Amino acid sequence: MRDVAILGVGMTRFGKFLERSLKELAREAVDAALASAGLGREAVQAAVVGNAMAGLMSGQECVRGQVVLREIGIGGIPVVNTENACASSSTALHLGWLWVASGLHDVVLVLGMEKLFHADKQRSFRALAGAADVDAIAAYPETRSMFMDYYADLTRAHMRRFGTTPEQFAAVAVKNHWHGSLNPNAQYRNTCTVDEVLASPMIVEPLTRLMCSPIGDGAAALVVVAGERARRVGGRPVWMKASVIGSCKERGADEPEITERVAGRAYEMAGIGPDDVDVVELHDGSAPAEVIAYEHLGLCPAGEGGRLVADGETALGGRIPVNPSGGLIARGHPVGATGAAQVCELVWQLRGEADRRQVPGARVGLAHNGGGLVQGESAATVVHVLAT
C-alpha cells in the first residue's frame, strides 16, 4: 500500500439552511477543499460521496453524488455513493484512502453532505428512524427518540457502575459549546454553564437537550492524494496513518465493544498508542457518549471518563483536547457530513490553522465516527489516525 495524504479540506458552516440545496452546500465545500489543496477540478480522478438520508429527505434516493458533482463541474470519473448512517463520510474516506493507497487513483475527492432540516419536521424524524433496523422499530412504536433512548440507557449504566454524575456529563456539553463558540463553522456558537445544561429541557432522563447533538444541514470535502504527489506539490499534507471500519457484531457474539475493537486496530495500523494522540474528534452524539468513548479509545481507564472531562483534561488547554471543533453537540451533526467535518478539523489542527481553538503543536490526531444502531450497538464505527 502507498502512503496517502490529505492535501485539502473544506466545509460549509453547519446549521439550518432551508433555502440552500445539497448542490449548493456541496459546491461550497468542494471549492474550498480544492482551493486548500491548490488543485483544480480537472485534477480529481475519482470521487466517493457519503450521504445518509437524501432519499427520504428529498426523494433523491440514488446517484446522489453524480447529481451533485456534475452540477458543480466534475464528471466522467468513477463515482461511488456510500452510506453508513452517521458514519457515511468517514466510510467514504476509508474508500478514498483505499483507492489511493492501492495505486488505483492519485487524487480522490471525498464528499460528505446532508440536509436534515425540512419544512415538514416529520420527514426528518422518519429519516433518522431509518438508521436502525426498521423492523425492530416497528415492534416498539412507543420509542420517542431511539438514539437518545439508547444513549440514556448507556448513561444510566455508566452512572450505576462508576458513579458518574449528571454534572460530569454536563461538563462535556459546556466544553463542546465553548469550543464551538471559537469555531466559525459551528452550528451553535454560544457558551453555556453546567447549571444551564442541567436546567435545559429533559429529552430522556438524564439527557437534557443541551447534552444532545442537533440535526443540521451542511457539507464537508477532503482531497486525498498519493504521498508521492503530495511531496511533489508541496503544500501542507497531513498523512493518513490508519483507516479502519467495523460493524455491529453478529447476534449473540461475545466481543469487545465496537469502538474498542476498531480503535485497537487503528492504533496497531498507525503504530501508536492512545498516549501519542494530541487531539481527538469523536462521536459525541450525546454528552455521555463522549465520556464513554474516552474510555473505549483508551484516553483514560474505564470509569474515569467523567473525572477526565470535569478536570478539564479534554478541553482546549488540557492534556488531550477532544472535539475542539465543538463536536456533534455544538459544531453540529448533518449526518452524512459529520465524518468528513471531523477530519477537516483535524487537518486544520495538524496544520496549525485552527486559530483560536488551536491545540498547540498538535502532530497526531484521531477521528472517531459512529453510525446507525442495530440491536443496541453502533452499526458502523470508523476510526482514522492522521499525523503531520
Kindly list the residues in this chain that would bind its own copies in the complex (CB under 8 A).
Answer: 1, 21, 52-53, 55-56, 58-67, 69-71, 73-85, 91, 94-95, 98-99, 101-104, 126-127, 129-135, 244-251, 253, 255, 261, 371-372, 374-375, 379-380
| Length reported for the chain | 388
Q: Which is nearer to its own copies, 48 or 300 (CB)?
A: 48
Whether residue 300 contacts residue 343, with contact meaning beta carbons closer than 8 Å, is answered with no
CA atoms of 78 and 303, how far apart (whole Å): 46
Tell the smallest beta-carbon distance from residue 338 to its own copies (Å): 13
Handedness of CA 371, 374, 377, 380 (dihedral sign): negative
Burial class (CB in 10 A: 0-12, 13-18, 19+), 311: middle
Within 13 A of 33's CA, how many CA atoms are on the CB side?
34
Q: Which is nearer to its own copies, 260 or 345 (CB)?
A: 260
Pick 73 or 271: Cβ nearer its own copies: 73
Question: Rounded CA gap, 39 and 363, in Å?
Answer: 24
Distances 196 to 92, 177, 201, 202, 288 between C-alpha atoms, Å: 37, 12, 10, 12, 17
Smallest separation (angstroms) from its own copies to the CB of 177? 28
Measured from the CB atom, the residue of 67 and 302 that comes closer to its own copies is 67
The 3-state DSSP class for residue 96 equals helix
Residue placing its CB nearer to its own copies in the complex, 328 or 354: 328
In the residue annotation, 158 being an active-site residue is answered as no
**Strand-strand pairing, 279-281 and 364-374:** parallel
Q: Is 59 exposed, middle or buried (0-12, 13-18, 19+ CB in 10 A)?
A: exposed
- Give the nearest distance from C-beta 218 to its own copies in angstroms: 18
Q: Which of 94, 105, 158, 333 is catalytic?
A: 333
**C-alpha cell recorded at residue 119:** 419544512
> What gap in Å lies between CA 25 and CA 36, rounded to an integer?
17
Is 86 an active-site residue?
Answer: yes
Element (H, E) at 10: strand 4-11
- Give which of 293, 235, 241 is closest to 267, Cα–Cα: 241
- Closest distance between its own copies and the C-beta of residue 75, in Å? 3
Catalytic residue among 86, 192, 248, 344: 86
Minimal distance, residue 4 CB to its own copies, in Å: 12
CB of 82 to its own copies, least distance (A): 5
CB of 306 to its own copies, least distance (A): 29
Q: Report how far residue 138's alpha carbon sits from residue 155's, in angstroms, rounded to the nearest whole number.
A: 24
Q: Which is nearer to its own copies, 103 or 301 (CB)?
A: 103
In angstroms, rounded to a whole number, what is the distance separating the alpha carbons of residues 109 and 36? 13
Nearest to its own copies of 70, 156 (CB atom): 70
Q: Which residues are catalytic?
A: 86, 333
